[in-house]
A and B are shown apart, each in its own frame.
Chain A
Amino acid sequence: MSDLRCRVRRAAVTGFKRNRDRLELLSTEWPAGLRAPPPSPLPLLLARPRPAQTVDDTMPLETQPPVAANTPIGITLTINGQRRELQVAPWTTLLDLLRERLDLTGTKKGCDHGQCGACTVLVNGTRVNSCLTLAVMKDGAEITTVEGLAGLGDRAGSNALHPIQEAFIEHDAFQCGYCTPGQLCSSVGLMNEGHAHTRDEIREAMSGNICRCGAYTNIVDAIEDVMQGGAR
């Protein structure tokens, strides 16, 4: 596999700085012999300055209350091993907190209604839909997102991928990569639960994660491989 493809695919399974990696790749590492694509307006849109923060920068602008009567609530979350003291509005979902406040954009917003599984994260080791979770209700919990999978268990502090991330690369278990962070967290949750053993059981237990590219066969291959001790 070319270095370029390796980097793109690694970015997809780590969820980390993916957009930046892609832009870098497009601008500086377009393989010789291939024409670079025409300039896209997308980087300009991404680079648009954010509106100036108001005094109350403890909440994302989109969820600011219309009146000052609603006081943000103090909570403590341990996110990917890091303890965070946060002030949140009660209607802030865990998904919006991760993406909009903490810049952990690996976790994806797909349907925002618990139907697609793209927002799956681990709460105290259990997989849930972060879009249907109010952050304030998880006060005290340990949250693991795709950015934190590599640091789980004995890989803490190292740069090694989680075996399921290695397996997704090995088995080509994604195309566009949008559902991948949710698929990865869901896979780890499935293995923590320990109820699925056969291929059919894995498929059933992963049915809360939709992949519109249709990479299901390879996703099941990757999970089976890790369950059998493969993919390191």
Chain B
Amino acid sequence: MNRFDYVRAGTVAEAVQAFGAGARFIAGGTNLIDLMKYEVEKPGRLIDITRLPLDQIEDHGNGLRIGALATNAKVAYDDRVTERYPLLRNAILAGASAQLRNAASTGGNLLQRTRCYYFYDVATPCNKREPGSGCSAIGGMTRIHAIFGTSAHCIATHPSDMCIALAALEAKVQVSGPQGDRSIPFSEFHRLPGDTPEQDTNLVPGEIIVAVDLPESRFPQHFTYLKLRDRLSYAFALVSVAAALELDGDTVKTARLALGGVAHKPWRNREAEALLEGKPATRETFQAAADLIVAEAKPQATNGFKIDLARRAIVRGLEQAAAGTPQSLSDKRIQ
């Protein structure tokens, strides 16, 4: 780990003020410290924001405001989240380990970096780590890489489970920075790689996440977070599906679908969601939506299997949501 200055901020304004070139905010540190040990990150200054009063979960209008410092565990086990946003609870509990969820913050979860092997390996070129150096993943081992929204510069995936649920729930990210406060719709928070893969999000330097707002609860019954991975727990998704439905009898009234493990950001396809709406909640309908989504997929040499995996996971996820039988968090058999 490199040497750095340490600043403990007492207020959001102090934290923003302490920011400068080479500085990083630190909260849970579960990703940043790991990256520092690999010397992928070498901050000149760490600004400790853990003393800021941002760890509350509060009712906000008809929704819920989650403070940026609320730990993943605190959010997942909050009674209001469990009752009104069980999709978020299930997605959080599908990720990481209990120890990591006890430390990792809500804001930090949104800002975690890809787990692309080549991004972590400082001996190999990587456009995300070192812009302009090239992409070692293209033509390399691509099991955990993207099939949607890739570019010639980067095929990394966004690693979060929580964010896939937040995308489906259409959360809003509240940020504070040198230019004041603003609110960012979740779909505009993360970026596709394009020719600037070094930028994961649309935050400007010095901006700090203060809260994540959830809109009114609409999917407490018909939801699932289905995560498929190389081992049954404590592994990143190869493909994951956050599915949420509002049903009117057997007809889909509203559909939200977000995929994880397949793109540089939580992957949504509004056309597929529109296709589901007004249709009977049947396997045929779900297959049509899945086909529409995977039609856009562009696999690498060794991750073509993810297309069929995604297609089947989408159908199964929608079936679980429609039946009101979300994927169990402890029994890994897929019903």
- Closest Cβ of chain B to A187, distance in Å, is 11
Question: When the two chains form the complex, which single residue of A132, A189, A190, A201 contacts B29, counting CB atoms closer than 8 Å?
Answer: A132
Q: Given A73-B6, A136-B6, are A190 and B98 neighbors across the interface (CB < 8 Å)?
A: yes
- Closest Cβ of chain B to A66, distance in Å, is 7
Bound-state CA distance A201–B2 (Å) is 39
Determine whether A60 belongs to the interface, using a CB cutoff of 8 Å to chain B. Answer: no
Q: Given A137-B48, A137-B50, are A132 and B33 neighbors across the interface (CB < 8 Å)?
A: yes
Q: Is the CB of A137 within 8 A of B26?
A: yes
Bound-state CA distance A193–B1 (Å) is 32
Interfacial residues of chain B within 134-183, with CB under 8 A of chain A in the complex: none
Neighbouring B residues of A145 by C-beta, 8 Å: none
Bound-state CA distance A87–B331 (Å) is 46
Question: When the two chains form the complex, which single residue of A73, A134, A193, A200 contacts B33, counting CB atoms closer than 8 Å?
Answer: A134
Q: Is the CB of B330 within 8 A of A204?
A: yes
- Closest Cβ of chain A to B334, distance in Å, is 15
Q: Is the CB of A129 within 8 A of B98?
A: no
Closest residue of B by beta carbon distance from A70: B3
Q: Is the CB of A114 within 8 A of B3?
A: no
How many chain-B residues does the 8 Å CB contact rule pick out?
Answer: 30
Q: Is the CB of B103 within 8 A of A129?
A: yes
Determine whether B77 belongs to the interface, using a CB cutoff of 8 Å to chain A. Answer: yes
Determine whether A30 belongs to the interface, using a CB cutoff of 8 Å to chain B. Answer: no
How many chain-A residues does the 8 Å CB contact rule pick out?
Answer: 38
Neighbouring B residues of A117 by C-beta, 8 Å: 97, 99
- Closest Cβ of chain A to B208, distance in Å, is 17
Bound-state CA distance A65–B48 (Å) is 20
- Closest Cβ of chain A to B48, distance in Å, is 5
Q: Given A66-B3, A137-B26, A204-B233, are A113 and B98 neighbors across the interface (CB < 8 Å)?
A: no
Q: Is the CB of A112 within 8 A of B37?
A: yes
Q: Given A186-B99, A189-B98, are A129 and B30 neighbors across the interface (CB < 8 Å)?
A: yes
Bound-state CA distance A164–B233 (Å) is 24
Q: Is the CB of B99 within 8 A of A198?
A: no
Q: Is the CB of B6 within 8 A of A198?
A: no
Determine whether A203 belongs to the interface, using a CB cutoff of 8 Å to chain B. Answer: yes
Determine whether B325 belongs to the interface, using a CB cutoff of 8 Å to chain A. Answer: no
Determine whether A151 belongs to the interface, using a CB cutoff of 8 Å to chain B. Answer: no
Q: Is the CB of B50 within 8 A of A208?
A: no
Query: Which of A14-22, A42-50, A120-128, A218-226 is near enough to bind chain B?
Result: A120-128
Neighbouring A residues of B34 by C-beta, 8 Å: 113-114, 132
Neighbouring A residues of B36 by C-beta, 8 Å: 91
Q: Given A113-B34, A133-B29, are A128 and B99 neighbors across the interface (CB < 8 Å)?
A: yes
Determine whether A207 belongs to the interface, using a CB cutoff of 8 Å to chain B. Answer: yes
Neighbouring A residues of B99 by C-beta, 8 Å: 114, 117, 120, 127-129, 186, 189, 208
Determine whether A93 belongs to the interface, using a CB cutoff of 8 Å to chain B. Answer: yes
Neighbouring B residues of A63 by C-beta, 8 Å: 1
- Closest Cβ of chain B to A118, distance in Å, is 11
Closest residue of A by beta carbon distance from B328: A200
Digitize A174-213: 1 where CB-to-B-CB distance is under 8 Å, 0 elsewhere.
Answer: 0000000000001001100101001011011111110000
Sample of 20 more A-B contacts, CB < 8 Å, known A114-B99, A133-B29:
A66-B3, A67-B3, A90-B46, A91-B1, A91-B2, A91-B36, A114-B30, A127-B99, A133-B33, A133-B103, A134-B29, A137-B26, A189-B98, A189-B102, A193-B73, A193-B77, A204-B329, A205-B98, A207-B233, A209-B97
Please list the residues of chain B having a beta carbon within 8 angstroms of any beta carbon in chain A. 1-6, 26, 29-30, 33-34, 36-37, 46, 48, 50, 73, 77, 96-100, 102-103, 233-234, 329-331
CB-CB nearest 7 A-B residue pairs: A208-B97, A90-B6, A207-B233, A200-B330, A207-B234, A204-B330, A201-B330
Q: 12 pairs across A/B with beta carbons < 8 Å?
A: A65-B3, A90-B6, A91-B36, A114-B99, A120-B99, A127-B99, A128-B99, A128-B102, A189-B102, A195-B77, A203-B233, A208-B99
